[in-house]
Structure 1
Amino acid sequence: MTARPGRWTGARLLAGALAAALLPAGCGLPDVADLPLPGGRPAGPGYTVTAEFGDVLDLVPRAAVKVDDVTVGSVEKISLDGWHARVRLRIDRGVRLPANATAAVRQSSLLGEKYVAVAPPSAEPPRGDLGDGDLIPLSRTTRGAEVEEVLAALGLLLNGGGLAQLRTINAELNRALAGREPALRDTLTQLDTFLGGLDRQKADIVRAIDALDRLSGRLARQRQVVGDALDSLAPGLTVLARQRAQLTKALTALGRLGTVGTRVVEGSRADTVASVTALQPILEQLARAGDDLPKSLDFMLSFPFPPNVTGAIVGDFVNLSITADLDAATILANLVAAAPAPAPRTSRPATSTGPRPPATGDPARPGAKPGGVLPGLPGLPDLPLLKCLPDLKDFPAIFTPPKECGLPAGCKLLKPGSAVPLGGLLLPKGLVPQGTALPAGTELPDGTVLTAECVLPVTGAVLGQVGDLTDVLGGGLIP
């Protein structure tokens, strides 16, 4: 045991007296600083470190400071700072300790002296160096258990602290589990299975916890944003709370409206179907009209002149321009040929679904007769037009009319959707116009293509009609 400071003072005086008696005259006394300190650590150069403790027990100044049970210094001073004790330690300068070192108040034996043990940290890697004036905070200091505390805890355990109840607990467990061994065994088996499943899913559980940690961290970083969002919801929730009765009435009325609407739809289903069915012919005719309807509406705004003539009207007269493509060989050939007269325009019945010849003969083809027939060749009877057209229900890819039809050689009808050959003619509306080998007004499927041989050559004849304003307004001059 280390002697108390008072005893050490008397020992130093006695040692001084003996030294004075033994030393020869003329020799001085040794310096007190050179005398050995408690614990056997001689005095010398060192550095001081302050450690904070929640309880220093009966630690006294000049107590030893040890590292790995080797005395490396002593306690210089113990002071009180609030509810904590501050212990100033003096450590030999040659002892190197990390900056995050720990300190603990320990006891050399059961009844031995108290000392301060300084050691590197065990829960984290050492870092830095502990220097003069550094502080070991309260979070890195501990103290050992006192003998009195151990004996008090043992007395509490042995004197009605729970040891006497072990027999009662054992008896109650035996009584509770008696006859239930299979159920208990099954419970333990299920618990083992459950724990095994948890052990196999340990990686997934750790990953889920890590993900939850990341989510919690992100929410923590966005705490201000979340708080502002929640604060912004408060006025809206207040308005909804005040209008709860109105919202309830609106939802109830909406339910009744749905019931009434269902009843109305069911009651008018037959009429709705009939209306839609009645609209089908109109929609079909509008679909067949295609671009003609908007063009007609555009023409109505500038009637009786076409829309593109507005730029040619200057004052009270109209500027007209003509572009002529003159071919001397074609003109000379047409001069010796009879130009066909224009055929009257025929209407297209809306309910027609098959080929329909024009109501009158086609003046464009001399010898064509009314009734939908083509002129017969010399010595052959007239051939009905239907035999010169393909079956519209099974339109072939390429239809070549029979030779008896008297059509030009190479005149063919191509199925709708076919590529238009050079010099050919596409029938977007399925109505054969003037200037072809077929009678004008013949109806074919929309998109039918005529080859170049079916188109008659252009002649040099000029057709004109004379009429007044009433004829123009009535459309009499439009061929």
Structure 2
Amino acid sequence: MATKRAIAALAACCVALTACSSDFKGVYDLPLPGGADIGDHPYRVTVQFADVLDLVPQAAVKVGDVPVGRVETIRLGEDGWTAETVLAVNGDVHLPANAIARLRQSSLLGEKFIELAPSAAKAEGRLGDGGVIPVASTNRNPEFEEIFGALSLLLNGGGIGQLQTINRELSKVMDGNEEEIRSFLSTVEKLVSNLDSHRSEITSALDGLNQLSATLANRKKQVEGALTDLTPGLQSLSDQRTQLVSMLQSLDRLSGVGVDVIKKSRADLVADLTALAPILKRLADAGESLPKSLEILPTFPFTDAVRDGIKGDYLNVYATMIPAPGVELPPPGEGVPPGLPTLPLPSSGGS
């Protein structure tokens, strides 16, 4: 009977509210008992969620587990994939413009509510009326059903049955190998420390590799052309593989013979170089004297000093020819072509 009277009173209240206001849309417009005080001048904030689960209008909005507002409406976003909730927040609550929103649950089987919190990044501006918290700044906690579903998967078809096997095999591996494992872990620690100390060089190398990859990607046509043009050359090398192998084998034999010759002639070569050392020393001692003595060769038999005694373009040379002993010379004038002057020749040997 009491329940019937409460329902009747609630129905009467609804009828009265309907008569008083044409904006009344049903029970969702009635404030929940014990709800947050949004004050006289609340501001509205739109929060986008990838999934609002079973969140309902009039759900609480909290900051640090303190109720500061309520959910007014829940609708589908313009992209058709995200859910948008409009929150009414008490005007005295100040939040940064980059605040985040989480969909949480008051207890294991309790109601859903939205928690607003500042971002881990530096606060930027102030969240005001008409503000939007995007999907990237929202998340939700795992559902009770999801946790039990994952636990059921683990227990029924997961790795619980293999834990004993894994533990047994690990015990076999580590039994009696404690020193080796400890040494291995120490080596790994040193390796990680070295990698950490060279992280800037590794980063630079990766950046260089990234730039190289980008350059190769931009020159894809040139690379393809080079590979295409390289194909005939590779084909020629493949066709001449037998000749190349024979050449390399012959070169190997030649190198063996050369090494053997050098080894056997090493003593003679050293002796020749030792014998050549005094000659080279004398040449070195000659210094500039040897080049100067060779300067007369192009102008033999005249030295450079002769040029100062030459006047004009010709050089008069007077030569005296003396026949060898026993050579009979014709009398003066005989055997001389007509018209040529004759020169008196000195006698040889008193003749």
Does TM, normalized by the shorter one, top 0.5? yes
Is 1:70 matched with 2:66? yes
From the superposition, tell whether residues 267 and 117 of structure 1 become closer, same or farther in structure 2 (CA, over 3 Å).
closer
Q: How does 1:254-273 map to 2 (within 5 A)?
A: 254-262=251-259
Q: Kindly indicate whether the alpha-carbon contact (under 8 Å) linking 1:66 and 1:72 is maintained by their aligned counterparts in 2.
A: yes
From the superposition, tell whether residues 126 and 315 of structure 1 become closer, same or farther in structure 2 (CA, over 3 Å).
same
Q: Kindly indicate whether the alpha-carbon contact (under 8 Å) linking 2:39 and 2:91 is maintained by their aligned counterparts in 1.
A: no
Q: Kindly indicate whether the alpha-carbon contact (under 8 Å) linking 2:44 and 2:130 is maintained by their aligned counterparts in 1.
A: yes
**1:207 Cα deviation from its structure 2 partner:** 1.5
> Which residue number corresponds to residue 298 of structure 1?
295
Residue 141 of structure 1: which of 131, 138, 142 is its match?
A: 138
CA distance, structure 1, for counterparts of residue 21 and residue 81 of structure 2 = 41
Q: Which runs of 5+ in 1 are unaligned?
A: 1-8, 21-28, 319-466, 472-479
CA distance, structure 2, for counterparts of residue 195 and residue 42 of structure 1 = 59
> Which residue number corresponds to residue 213 of structure 1?
203
Is 1:129 matched with 2:126? yes
Percent sequence identity over matched residues?
38
Residue 96 of structure 1: which of 87, 94, 97 is its match?
A: 94
2:293 match: secondary structure = helix
Is 1:243 matched with 2:237? yes
CA distance, structure 1, for counterparts of residue 22 and residue 204 of structure 2 = 65
CA distance, structure 2, for counterparts of residue 314 and residue 11 of structure 1 = 151
Q: Which amino acid aligns with 2:14?
A: L
> Which residue number corresponds to residue 84 of structure 1?
82
**1:275 Cα deviation from its structure 2 partner:** 6.8
Q: Kindly indicate whether the alpha-carbon contact (under 8 Å) linking 2:108 and 2:144 is maintained by their aligned counterparts in 1.
A: yes
CA distance, structure 2, for counterparts of residue 281 and residue 197 of structure 1 = 62
Q: Kindly indicate whether the alpha-carbon contact (under 8 Å) linking 2:69 and 2:89 is maintained by their aligned counterparts in 1.
A: yes
Q: How does 1:271-290 map to 2 (within 5 A)?
A: 283=280, 286-287=283-284, 289-290=286-287
Is 1:58 matched with 2:50? no
Q: Kindly indicate whether the alpha-carbon contact (under 8 Å) linking 1:77 and 1:89 is maintained by their aligned counterparts in 2.
A: no
Structure showing the higher helix proportion among its residues: 2
Q: Which runs of 5+ in 2 are unaligned?
A: 1-9, 322-351
Normalising to structure 1: TM-score of the pair?
A: 0.48
CA distance, structure 2, for counterparts of residue 470 and residue 269 of structure 1 = 59
Q: Kindly indicate whether the alpha-carbon contact (under 8 Å) linking 2:106 and 2:113 is maintained by their aligned counterparts in 1.
A: yes
1:118 match: secondary structure = strand
**1:213 Cα deviation from its structure 2 partner:** 2.8
Q: How does 1:414-425 map to 2 (within 5 A)?
A: none
> Which residue number corresponds to residue 343 of structure 2?
none
CA distance, structure 2, for counterparts of residue 173 and residue 73 of structure 1 = 52
Q: Kindly indicate whether the alpha-carbon contact (under 8 Å) linking 1:60 and 1:78 is maintained by their aligned counterparts in 2.
A: no
Q: Kindly indicate whether the alpha-carbon contact (under 8 Å) linking 1:51 and 1:103 is maintained by their aligned counterparts in 2.
A: yes
Normalising to structure 2: TM-score of the pair?
A: 0.61
CA distance, structure 1, for counterparts of residue 63 and residue 304 of structure 2 = 110
CA distance, structure 2, for counterparts of residue 209 and residue 219 of structure 1 = 15
- Identify the structure with bigger relative contact order (alpha carbons < 8 Å, sequence gap 6+): 2
Q: Number of residue pairs matched?
A: 296
From the superposition, tell whether residues 265 and 170 of structure 1 become closer, same or farther in structure 2 (CA, over 3 Å).
closer
Q: Which amino acid aligns with 1:86?
A: E
CA distance, structure 2, for counterparts of residue 266 and residue 108 of structure 1 = 93
> Which residue number corresponds to residue 105 of structure 2?
107
Q: Kindly indicate whether the alpha-carbon contact (under 8 Å) linking 1:50 and 1:135 is maintained by their aligned counterparts in 2.
A: yes
Q: Kindly indicate whether the alpha-carbon contact (under 8 Å) linking 1:48 and 1:88 is maintained by their aligned counterparts in 2.
A: yes
CA distance, structure 2, for counterparts of residue 199 and residue 141 of structure 1 = 38
From the superposition, tell whether residues 241 and 52 of structure 1 become closer, same or farther in structure 2 (CA, over 3 Å).
farther
Q: Kindly indicate whether the alpha-carbon contact (under 8 Å) linking 1:63 and 1:74 is maintained by their aligned counterparts in 2.
A: yes
Q: Kindly indicate whether the alpha-carbon contact (under 8 Å) linking 1:61 and 1:78 is maintained by their aligned counterparts in 2.
A: no
**1:119 Cα deviation from its structure 2 partner:** 1.0
CA distance, structure 1, for counterparts of residue 277 and residue 245 of structure 2 = 44
CA displacement 1:430-471 (0-9 Å, x = unmatched)? xxxxxxxxxxxxxxxxxxxxxxxxxxxxxxxxxxxxx96679
Whose radius of gyration is greater, 1 or 2?
1
